[in-house]
Structure formats: C-alpha cells, structure tokens
Homo-oligomer: A and B are copies of this chain.
C-alpha cells in the first residue's frame, strides 16, 4: 500500500528550509530509497515517493508558512538539477500505475501553479545543472526558470527520441501554451535528446535567463530579493504580504498533522470520511460526514483550531481517500458518494468561509477544497451521489453531487430528503475548465444556474428534480432496486471505455491548460504507454539502457 501521508521530518529526498519570506526546496534524491524494488534513483530521478514529498512540501508552505513569498526550487547534486521520472521504474511498472503516477505528478505541478496564481507566491526553478524530462517539466511548472551556464548543463525533453513516449507531466502543453514557445522550435526541442544549453534555451524561451557558475547563486539571490521587495498588482489583493513588509510581525501558519486512519479488510475510516468496500461488486461507498454544530466563526478561533477545523480536515481526508482508491484499489470502478449530517451545519461553515475569504487561512482552506474537488473530477472512476434522509449535500458538499456522473435522490414524501446551495457554489470551487460545476451543468440553460441560486431555502426531491439538480428521483418502492441495478450495470461496463467516456463528458465548455494536460496529453500518453513501440519486447522504453536497440513498427497511426 502506498502512503500519501508524510511530513518534513520523514523526507528522504527533499530538504525544505525557510528564511523569512523565502522558502528553499532542495532536491537530493537518495538513490536507494525507492518505493519499489528493481531500480535506483540516480541523478535526482524520481519515483512516486519523491513526488509525494514534493506535494506535501508545497502544501505545507501554504499552510504552515504563509509568510513565504518566494520559493526557490533547486538541487543539492552537483551539475544535475533533476533527471526526471526514473525510466527503470516506468519500465517495470504496470500500465495502471504509470498512468496514476503521471496524473499525480501533474496534479502536483498544477498545485504549484495554483499557489502562484491564487496565493501570490512566486516559484523560481534554480537549475544548478541539467534538467531533463520530468526535471524540466518541474521547472516549467514554476514561474521563472534560471539555468547555470557551465558549458554542460541543459534543459531537455528527451522522452520522444530516447524512450518513444511523451513527456508525461504536461511538458509539451506547457511548452507551447504556458511558455508559448514557437511550435517549430518546440518540435526541434522535443526531438533533441541532448536538449539545449543556456544561450539558445533563453533565445527560444525555454528558460528566463542563464548565469555563469560563479554568478549563479548571487543572481538567484538578487532575483529573490527583488521579488520579496516588490509589490505586484496581484499582491495588493493579499493584505498579509503588505503587513509583513511594513514591519508588522509575520503571520503564523498552522501545523498540518498526519491524518489518522483505521483500516480493516473492507473499511477505511478517517474522522469525517469512511470507505465501505464491496469489492466483489467492484464498488465502494464513500461516506462524508458533515461538520459538528457550533464550529468557530472567527478567524482567530479557526486559527487556533488549526487542521482540526472541519473544512480542512474533512477535505484532506477526502483527498487521501481518493488517492488511496486510485492507486490501491484499481478494481473498484464505482464510488457511491453518501453524506451524513446536518445541512444547517454545512451551511453555517460555508457562511464562515464566505465571510472570511480575505483571511489568508480561510483562503488557503477554500483553495484546498477546490483542489480536492478537482482531484475527484480527474479520478478515473465513476461517481454516483446517493441522496437519502439525513444526508447533507449542501453548499460545499453539494459540489460532490455536481461532480458526480449521476445522482439519485430518494422521492419519499414521508421523509425529509433535501439538498441546498450556498454562496460557495457560485465560484469558490472552479473546475479545471474554469467554470463552476453549476455552470458546467447548465451550459444549455445558464438561466437554470441563476434560478438555483435564487431559490429560497432548501430543495426537496421534487424541487431538486424540477430545477435539474439531480438525475433521477426514484420513489421509496423502487429505490433499493434502482440503486442496485444502476450499480450492477455500471460496474459491468468496460472500465477503459468508461474512463474515456467520463473524461469526455465531465469537461464540457471551455478548455484551459489544465484540461488540455489532463484530457489530451493524458489520453495520448495512455495510448503510447500501451503501444509495442514503447512497452513491447522491442519497445524503446523496454530497451532503454540495454545494449539492444528499440525496433519500431513504423506504421503511422
């Protein structure tokens, strides 16, 4: 079982240090500390274990060190920044694992960009040596890239020429869409195993600047000092940065403790999230419990409560549960989402969050909830929401319903079955396509999204159905049968076809760099990872590092 819970004192591959408003995130991969057997992590190459630490570090910077305004990502290895994902690890991994690994590393890169975009922190990739493949993809997720000019160091995406696969972490898309490199140059760069060094890399827009070895550190320091002392347009939105600079003591972060999980054969229980496995039927019930009554409503109290505050803890637990399901339960194809608790309590929490969104901690909490919901959107499993009495699909938890492929709401006039919206449904949790889930739902009739907001109070089943908020509303007599048959039907379908179908239907409307990376690149990567030219006995990935050469079937498809 792969554990996604970690903390800096357990890091093997990264060092995270802080000095006032500057965080230093330094890669120093220990080649024998691998997640599986059969490969060594040479030259700062990485496996999932390395990336779990990175994801944790970024999360901790946001919650534990809100005073940080610049993050320098660099390496402790001489002349090498990072050699990318470990090829032997990829070569010995199953298709499922490879795809999940790429998805998680993509999400970590997107989390860097999310921090930069929404929390105003600036990420600098200080490439003290060569950055190849995933190493360059990590750099390109940062805001600025600086490469040492030592006559040797280069940036490269050697996947196509060396391995017969694509850069797996959004590299091609970020090349032309984020850095907007000219496509013919991107073509040359992506087929050049050795990559490009300082001068030409800068000319082509692959890096922002290059400095000689002797001037490298001081140039990075200068740039960091510039960032820390400047006040960008964006920063003006963030009161705390200003406070910090004006001599008022820096904000105190809150500590993220490891989540407590109890597992048995068929269960996995966190404080607010439970999984109940029906593995013979290939589905799982995911139960999310709403907040208790009377949670604090001031930011001081919430700061004191720290990571035990429901929105933060419950969504961290949901995040961990989703990652567990992806990586450790590949045969579970369907997640039935159920909620338990009081709608009033959820709405009360949402009110607190909405009222205090200017506070740094509340902002980080809401952004984290949004990221977890996007992780759900991007999970290759079917989701059904099941709405019964005593459930609390309200406000932020109503997003779970909207994120589901379908929803079933019990229609029983003798019981209270309700859902409700809150202010947070109007924009706090954007999907990867930039729209709210309600906007995505009502592309044909945008008016319906406004009507749902304008609705007074809760929706009972018939109101929810009339408003287009649920898919089906079976009555009491049919309920058990309908749910059972729906589950059976869903889990009988081809899991591959469902993955492709869901990825196509979930993201209607506009596209963003994120949806391109997940929807397009992932799909191509999935395909190429299956092809004999990559993974067959004569494939390039299989033959990497061996004396034998790859033999291709040259038919173009």
Contacts and interface: CB of A to CB of B under 8 A. Distances in A.
B556 A499 contact: yes
A191 interface: yes
Interface in A109-151: none
A263 B86 CA distance: 49
A441 interface: yes
B554 A333 contact: yes
B442 A182 contact: yes
A232 B520 CA distance: 37
Contacts of A553: 495
A175 interface: yes
7 contacts: A161-B493, A188-B471, A191-B489, A494-B540, A495-B557, A510-B511, A523-B523
B444 A179 contact: yes
Contacts of A251: none
Interface string A157-176: 00111011110000011011
| Residue of A100, A182, A527 ringed by the most chain B CB atoms within 10 A | A527
Contact of A554 (B495, B497, B525): B495
Interface in A504-556: 504-506, 508-511, 515-516, 519-521, 523-528, 530-531, 533-534, 540, 550, 552-556
Interface stretch (A28-36, A289-297, A354-362, A400-408): A400-408
A518 to B, nearest CB: 10
B557 A96 contact: yes
A482 to B, nearest CB: 12
A550 to B, nearest CB: 7
Contact of A164 (B471, B494, B534): B494
Contact of A520 (B173, B205, B441, B520): B520
B556 A164 contact: no
A531 B441 contact: no
A471 B161 CA distance: 19
Contact of A496 (B99, B490, B533): B533
A155 interface: no
A450 B531 CA distance: 43
Interface in A5-37: none
Contacts of A330: 555-557
A231 interface: no
Given A184-B406, A530-B531, A556-B331, A521 B497 contact: no
Nearest to A550: B494
A483 interface: no
B556 A191 contact: no
A379 to B, nearest CB: 9
B495 A182 contact: no
Contacts of A523: 520, 523-524, 526-527
A452 interface: no
B557 A95 contact: yes
A526 B525 CA distance: 10
Given A95-B557, A191-B493, 7 more contacts: A173-B504, A184-B406, A184-B441, A380-B557, A381-B556, A497-B528, A504-B524
A505 B186 contact: yes
Interface string A45-74: 000000000000000000000000000000
